[in-house]
């Protein structure tokens, strides 16, 4: 089973809503009116020296913005870097979508696999646990609950279709996840809740939010399956608003991370679905697909 994936790059403003070159911001050095050559050289050296000391002091005190400085050319580096640091109310909007295709797969098998919390937990990069919850979430208790699970249940094809259907996502149900994401040299652990807003074959939609130290996000996403001549196409779309320290890093840092996580997730899902479809013979595949249809 081959995977064909088309992702449209995550998009958003390059530095949140902040202009990286504010009007009137001085450059590394300025000239006075009609300077002599020697005075100009001394002024330039003094200005560069003072600016370097100031910039490195700002970087040390605001280490979380360092990745955003990597791609800025030295000749355009302003005398101050505080335009990158917008406070904890910074916001960065994102939208990304795509389609991936699975050859020799049935829509029923793909739907059941993508409805399985166990498979989703194992496919999501950085996901420490994904648990069904009823109301207010205490993540310390949820972590203990996850640690108490001695053996993770199997997924398809080791698990039966009936077992997976029994634990599948339910519309209106809320799930809690602890996600560790590496962004710009930091690895915040997001305490995340996701609600299944819609789930009716072949479409599923979710809403969610998460928070970590000095950062948070809100998101919505949907996917829809369509049968093709060669297999199944999964069309998906997600929108998110990122707030706080991570939002300050801007698109140069956030967009590549988001695209990498999406690609890793779908690659892992494709590998697991390939195992479902790679039964020993056609008879086994037919029986498995029949049982999946019955389970649905």
The residue to which tokens 């892992």 are assigned: 268
Indicate if the pLDDT at residue 167 is higher than 60.
yes
Which structural domain, as residue segments, surrounds residue 221? 3-7+88-295
Specify the number of domains making up the chain: 1
pLDDT higher than threshold 50 for residue 68: no
Residues contacting 48, CB < 8 A, separation 6+: 28, 29
Residue 80 contacts residue 50 (beta carbons within 8 Å):
no
Question: How crowded is the C-beta side of 49, counted as CA atoms within 13 Å?
Answer: 6
Q: In this prediction, what percent of the chain has a pLDDT beyond 70?
A: 66
pLDDT of residue 35: 47
Distance separating alpha carbons of residues 204 and 280, to the nearest angstrom? 31
pLDDT at 143: 95
* pLDDT greater than 90 at residue 30: no
> Could you read off the pLDDT of 280-291 as tens digits, one per residue?
456 666 666 677
Bond into 157 cis (ω within 30) = yes
CATH code: domain of residue 216: 3.30.530.20
- Residue 82, pLDDT > 50, answer no
User: Is 0.85 surpassed by the pTM of this model?
Assistant: no
**pLDDT given for residue 284 in this prediction:** 62
The yes-or-no verdict on residue 249 having pLDDT over 90 is no
Give the closest residue to 28 by CA, choosing from 6, 12, 11, 43.
Answer: 43
Assigned domain for 93 exists: yes
Q: Stretch 9-18: mean pLDDT, rounded? A: 48
Read off the pLDDT of residues 106-144 as tens digits, 9 standing for 90 and up: 899 899 999 999 999 999 999 999 999 987 779 999 999
25: pLDDT strictly greater than 50: no
Residue 81 lies in a domain: no
The verdict on residue 82 lying in a domain is: no
Residues above pLDDT 90, as percent of the chain: 43
Is 38 within a domain? no
Q: Is residue 18 part of a domain?
A: no
177 domain-assigned: yes
Distance of alpha carbon 107 from alpha carbon 158, whole angstroms: 19
pLDDT tops 70 at residue 226: yes
pLDDT band at 216 (very low <50, low <70, confident <90, very high): very high
56 falls within a domain: no
Whether residue 68 lies inside any domain: the answer is no
pLDDT at 213: 87
Nearest residue to 138 via CA among 174, 106, 180, 176:
176
- Distance in angstroms (rounded) separating the CA atoms of residues 94 and 254: 9
């Amino acid at each position: 089973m081959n995977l064909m994936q088309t992702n449209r790059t995550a998009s958003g403003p390059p530095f949140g809503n902040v202009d990286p070159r504010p009007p009137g911001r001085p450059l590394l050095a300025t000239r006075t009116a009609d300077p002599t050559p020697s005075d100009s050289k001394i002024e330039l050296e003094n200005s560069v020296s003072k600016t370097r000391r100031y910039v490195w002091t700002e970087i040390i005190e605001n280490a979380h913005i360092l990745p955003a400085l990597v791609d800025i050319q030295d000749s355009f580096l302003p005398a101050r870097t505080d335009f990158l640091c917008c406070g904890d109310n910074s916001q960065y909007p994102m939208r990304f979508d795509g389609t991936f295709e699975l050859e020799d797969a049935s829509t029923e098998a793909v739907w059941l696999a993508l409805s399985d919390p166990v498979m989703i937990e194992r496919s999501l990069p950085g996901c420490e646990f994904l648990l069904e919850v009823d109301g207010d979430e205490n993540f310390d208790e949820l972590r203990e609950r996850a640690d108490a699970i001695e053996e993770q249940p199997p997924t398809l094809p080791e698990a039966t279709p009936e077992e997976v259907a029994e634990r599948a996502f339910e519309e209106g149900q809320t799930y809690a996840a602890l996600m560790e994401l590496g962004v710009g040299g930091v690895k915040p652990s997001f305490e995340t809740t996701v609600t299944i807003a819609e789930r009716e074959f072949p479409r599923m939609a979710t809403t969610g939010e998460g928070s970590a130290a000095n950062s948070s996000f809100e998101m919505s996403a949907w996917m829809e399956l369509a049968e093709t001549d060669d297999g199944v196409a999964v069309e998906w779309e997600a929108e998110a608003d990122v707030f706080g320290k991570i939002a300050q890093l801007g698109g140069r840092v956030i967009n590549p991370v988001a695209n990498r996580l999406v690609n890793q997730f779908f690659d892992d899902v494709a590998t697991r679905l390939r195992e479902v479809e790679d039964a020993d013979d056609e008879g086994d595949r037919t029986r498995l697909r029949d049982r999946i249809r019955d389970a649905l």
